Structures are given as C-alpha cells and as structure tokens.
Amino acid sequence: MRVPVGVKLLGVMVGSTLFYAWVGQLVPQKEVLPPEVVEMAEDMSTDELVGIGQEIFEGKGLCNTCHTIGQSGALRFPDLDGIAVRAATRVPGLDQLGYVAQSLYRPDAYVVPGFAPGMPAADKPPVGLSDDEIRAVIAYLQTLGGSATMTMATTLPYAQGAEPTDGADPPGGEVPPTATAGMAAGEPAPGTEAAVTLPADGAAAGAAGGGEAMLARFGCTECHATAAGGERSLAGVGGRLSRAEIERWLVDHRPPLPASYHQQVTLAQVRTMTDYLAGQ
C-alpha cells in the first residue's frame, strides 16, 4: 500500500521534533537567578564583612568576570593578588582605602598601565552595589595580601556625602590627584610616554596667546572652533564650565583626540590652556 505524501511529511515533522527535543535534553541546563539580597547590619564584625565581601565579589559584584586572583595572566583587568599591598602606594596622595574606593566608585580616574578603561562604577548599574556592600568588598580585598580593617563605621571616600580622606577628592571636587599626580612633577600621565617640559620660569603659563597657540598645537582646533557659532565652538566655554571642570576635561580628554596629546602635554600646558578657555 502506498503511503500518502502528507502522511510522510507529518511523520518527518514529528520525528524531527522528537529528535531535537531529545538532543536539547542532553545540553546542560543552567538556571540563572537574580542576586540574593545581602543583609547588612550595623554591628557586623570585620570578619563578617570579609565573608560577605567575597560572596559579593564572586556573585552580585561580577568582579571575577574580568579580574583574577593569583592566576597567571589577568583577564580584561588586573590580577588582584596582593592588591592590599599595591593599593597603598599605587597613586601618590591616596592610601590603601582611598585607592581601592576610587577604583570602585570612579574606576576611570586611574587606569593601570597596560590595561584599557571600561570597568563600570560599582555603585551604578549594571552592578549597583550599596555603600555597605562596597565596604564588604573592600574588606575582602584587604585580605588579598594584608589584613582587613574595614568596619561598618569606616567612612568611604567617594561615597555619597563622604568627606575626602588621605588625599581622596570628594564627589564633584577638584581634578582628581590620580589624573595629575605625575604630570604635576613634569612626568607623564599614567600609562603614557615622557611629557614635554616647559621652560623653568613657566613664562607661557596664563598667557592668552600661549593658550590659544597650544590649542592649535595639540590638535584641539581640528575639532573645535574658537570663534562663536563654529562647530563645537569653545567660545564662551568659560561661562558654561568652571575652571576645575575645564581643567578636568583637558586632563581626561579621550579619543578622537590624537594619542600624542597624552604623550606630550604637561600639567603646566593644561593650565595654560585652562587659563585661556576660562577667560572666554
């Protein structure tokens, strides 16, 4: 008896469905759940903070997605083995707590040479840790090469409403010391080549003509017009931004600015350009 074509097609469809359903069951299944709520109490001990901090580091904080601890060859970001020791001297003006807190709240303020920026701020989405959760993470990081001293009463630099400690700048304060510490001594910004040194008397500093010439020298005028009405005009910028904001912008400027900018510019030159722009 000849089987109708329609029946054959139905058989193929049913057979294919059953086959792929079977294959699908062979693939390991993983259930992804939202992070557990971390219960934080004001009377938690340092040891309790360390334990919770490790849980957050490995879970909600997503830290080990990009960092390694003691493994050869870091991933996207630096290996954290011994971070408790390195943090105390990594950036002039910041102690261990100041550096680690800055790295979590403002990760782009200082980028370890050899690595690219890109770490999200721990207190903002997609991570979104609370200040207490960040305290716990710092307590855990303090055990990586040292001893934890963090408590729930410890004031965190960079936390909302916190006062600066040990050289850390408060939210919305002046240009971060990490961005200019090396440049202040005529050295390059972190991760760059040697900077050009100005004359010892700094005669060009503050001169309007000098600032305008430097804007052209470092390629600023290739993208920004200095006359009113031009594309990305810098005219009137002194009325829109504070002096500190202008200086921060010049220090932290990112591409499409030529790479040679951060390899050549010094803090004295930045301040010459700042003087000029602040007067516009």
What is the tally of helices (H) and strands (E) in the chain?
Answer: 11, 0
Query: Cα dist. 271→51, 184, 224 in Å?
Result: 46, 11, 18
Q: Please state the pTM of the whole predicted model.
A: 0.51
Residue 192 is predicted with a pLDDT of: 36
Q: Which amino acid is at 84?
A: A
Q: Which two tokens stand for residue 266?
A: 């010094």
Q: Write out the DSSP string of 225-253.
A: -SSTTSTT--TTHHHHS-HHHHHHHHHH-
> How many Å separate Cα 247 from the centre of its chain?
19
Residue 87 pLDDT > 50, yes or no? Answer: yes
Rounded distance between C-alpha atoms, residue 102 and residue 182, angstroms: 17
The segment with the largest mean pLDDT, out of 28-37, 174-183, 232-241, is 232-241
Rounded distance between C-alpha atoms, residue 95 and residue 87, angstroms: 7
Rounded distance between C-alpha atoms, residue 279 and residue 263, angstroms: 26
Rounded distance between C-alpha atoms, residue 64 and residue 75, angstroms: 9
Q: Identify the weakest region by mean pLDDT among 18-27, 34-43, 159-168, 248-257.
A: 159-168
Query: Cα dist. 59→20, 70, 126 in Å?
Result: 33, 18, 13
> CB of 73 within 8 A of CB of 64?
no
- Each residue's pLDDT tens digit, 35-59: 666 788 999 999 999 999 999 999 8
> Domains (ranges, CATH) in the chain?
36-173 (1.10.760.10), 178-278 (1.10.760)
Rounded distance between C-alpha atoms, residue 276 and residue 251, angstroms: 15
For the chain, the maximum distance between any two Cα atoms, rounded to a whole number of angstroms, is: 106
